[in-house]
A and B are shown apart, each in its own frame.
Chain A
Amino acid sequence: MPAKFNGLDKSTLAKWMDKIPSDLYVTCPYCKQSVYHQKLGPFQECPHCGYGFRLGAAARLKIVTDKFEAFDAELAVDPALVDDQYAEKLTKAKQHSGLPESVVTGMATIDSLQVAIGVMDSNFMMGSLGSATGEKLTRLFEEATRRRLPVVLYTASGGARMQEGLHSLMQMAKVTQAVTAHGEAGLCYLVVLTDPTTGGVTASFAMEADITLAEPHALIGFTGRRVIESTLHIKPPADFQRAETLLANGFVDDIVARSAQKATIVSLLKLSQGGA
């Protein structure tokens, strides 16, 4: 202990310590290095390894878009599908995320480009795919098809929402056919896979884009590590579901740091839809 603290009684020291916010330093979940919070910068990137810390939808939209107008902002799950236990989860998720569902959708301007955009938020029940999530995404693709706009989608999800059973599973088919119709109209769908993108979201619209980008070190996969471990009694390699592994295996077009995403998205969309 430094000399200047000598002679302090423990309770005074504890009072001083209490005044120091606990989140001044954060540990990068990927490289495990400790980072002074201001060093993460406006893009919330680890200065050591480039990992993008998890972002809420509002923060994400602020970074990526110049103007945003929400669709279906109040759309939420049909109460007929909600029992007491699920209702409690939903209430907590709303408080935690400030959102009524796990995805925010709407129209945005990125630089001067008009796009339809969706951003999933892992703060809402780990971004799970509920029927309202699927409905909002479906309407997003339908509206983009009507307005002849590209779709930009940021995925973040633990997968299907177990509480909704098959209603959740059916969203995979429902969103998929809206993606297909959008594509058949000659319109571009660009996805950015963020940490984490897993389960039923990976097994549907996350893997159906024309252009598939990922954030550095993002966890992307179908079956969760723990399920593989408990089913097969093996320990998968540390990085078997990281963005870099998917890139090497041919499932991702490119890995793009958050700070470079806006320019990359605009450029790729202009190259794809002959844009303005």
Chain B
Amino acid sequence: MSENAAYDIVQAARSQSKIDSYTLINGVFSDFHELHGDRLHGDDSALIGGVGRLNGRPVTILATNKGRDMAEGQATHFGCVSPDGYRKAIRLMKQSTKFNRPIVALINTPGAYPGVEAEYGGQGEAIARSIQTGLGQPVPYLSLIFGEAGSGGALALATGDEVWILEKSTYSVVSPEGYASILWRDGKLADQAAAKMKLTPSELLAAGFVDRVLPEVTTPETLSALTTQLDLKITALAKLPVAELMAARRQRYRQF
């Protein structure tokens, strides 16, 4: 991928004009109820959790949240989830199994929150358990990347039966700035790093890290089209015997 093409997608993924999490949730799901808190310590607004309906079917909804303005951005650390957020996700993932609700995770995060309090709260442990819990729930689980998906903080919600991505989005082990600064000791080479990292949707699809690339979601029509695609996939996954669903999920992650 040429430098500009890859870095253009990086910038588009981070753009202010990207759909925000609540608009996406309310555009795709009906009857959405937000459910707060991890029942252990607190409530992290960087991770929206709740229930709603996908074409009538009850589902669990998890979404990272960058916020719609500066105040919300500061509260959500611009979409960087803290341990309380991952533990809320873990709680709701487990509840999905109890009520046999499929899980839909919507991801747009630069990465987990890099803070001292987050470290004290066990950021690593929270991400590890979120990965483990997601992989282990015997209900259909779809992850959709709709902006940036950075590092373990994104993987925590990206262990679904399938991982989808909108066409102006990225998924990477580290930001291009981080890659350039770690490997080339110059964070300003982010555009060159982006070209090398294979983080664009077409490259991710070719390598098997994502299963489907979808058009950007900007209008009621495109939201409706996304709803249809999600519903078709969840319906298909829900028809599978649980043993088959789980075996396919295991195989998806075993291959890497």
List the interface of chain A (C-beta within 8 A of B).
85, 131, 134, 138, 160, 162-174, 176-177, 179-180, 199-200, 202-208, 220-223, 227-228, 231-232, 234, 236-237, 240-241, 245-246, 249-251
Contact of A222 among B127, B178, B183 (CB under 8 A): B127
**A172-B131, A204-B131 known; A222 and B112 CB under 8 Å?**
yes
Interface residues on B, range: 35 or more
Contact with A along B80-95 (1 / 0, CB 8 A): 0000000000000000
Closest to B132 in A: A176
How far apart sit A237 and B120, CA to CA, in the bound complex (Å)? 11
Beta-carbon contact of B124 and A234 below 8 Å: no
How far, in whole Å, are A172 and B131 apart by their CA atoms in the complex? 8
Is B25 in contact with chain A by the CB < 8 A criterion? no
- The residue on B at minimum CB distance from A197 is B124
Task: Check B127–A203 contact: CB distance below 8 A.
Answer: yes
With a cutoff of 8 Å between Cβ atoms, the chain B residues found around residue A205 in the complex are 128
Task: For the complex formed, measure the closest distance between the CB of A156 and the CB atoms of chain B, giving whole angstroms.
Answer: 15
Cβ contact within 8 Å between B114 and A232: yes
Q: What are the 6 A-B residue pairs with the smallest beta carbon separation, nearest first?
A: A202-B124, A170-B256, A222-B124, A203-B127, A223-B114, A207-B128
Q: Give 23 CB contacts A-B under 8 Å.
A: A160-B151, A165-B172, A166-B198, A166-B199, A170-B256, A173-B131, A173-B256, A174-B253, A176-B131, A176-B132, A180-B132, A202-B125, A203-B156, A205-B128, A207-B122, A207-B125, A207-B129, A208-B129, A221-B124, A223-B112, A227-B178, A232-B114, A249-B122
A169 in contact with B124 (CB, 8 Å): no
For A204, A228, A234, the residue with the greatest tally of chain B CB atoms inside 10 Å of its CB is A204
B182 within 8 A of A: yes
Select the residue from B118, B127, B155 with max chain A CB neighbours within 10 A: B155
Alpha-carbon separation in the docked complex, A179 to B254 (Å) = 12
Q: Is the interface of A mostly helix, strand, loop or mixed?
A: helix
The answer, yes or no, to whether B204 is at the interface (CB within 8 Å) is yes
- In the complex, whether B179 has a CB less than 8 A from a CB of chain A is yes
Interface centre among B135, B136, B253 (most CB of A within 10 A): B253
CA of A140 to CA of B152 in the docked complex: distance in angstroms?
23
Instruction: Find chain B residues with CB under 8 A from A202 CB.
Output: 124-125, 128
Tell which of B174, B209, B250, B256 touches A171, judged by Cβ atoms closer than 8 Å: B256
Does B115 have its Cβ within 8 Å of any Cβ on chain A? Answer: yes
> Is the pair A204, B152 in contact by a Cβ cutoff of 8 Å?
yes
Contacts of B209 in A (CB 8 A): 166, 170
**A228 and B116 form a contact (CB under 8 A):** yes
Asked whether, in the complex, the Cβ of B256 is within 8 Å of the Cβ of A177, the reply is no
Q: Tell me which residues across on chain A come within 8 A of B182, comparing CB atoms.
A: 162
Residue picked from B127, B131, B199, most chain A C-beta under 10 Å: B131
Q: Quick one: closest B residue to A138, CB to CB?
A: B254
Give the residues from 113 to 152 in chain B that come closer than 8 angstroms, CB to CB, to chain A: 114-116, 118-125, 127-129, 131-132, 135-136, 151-152
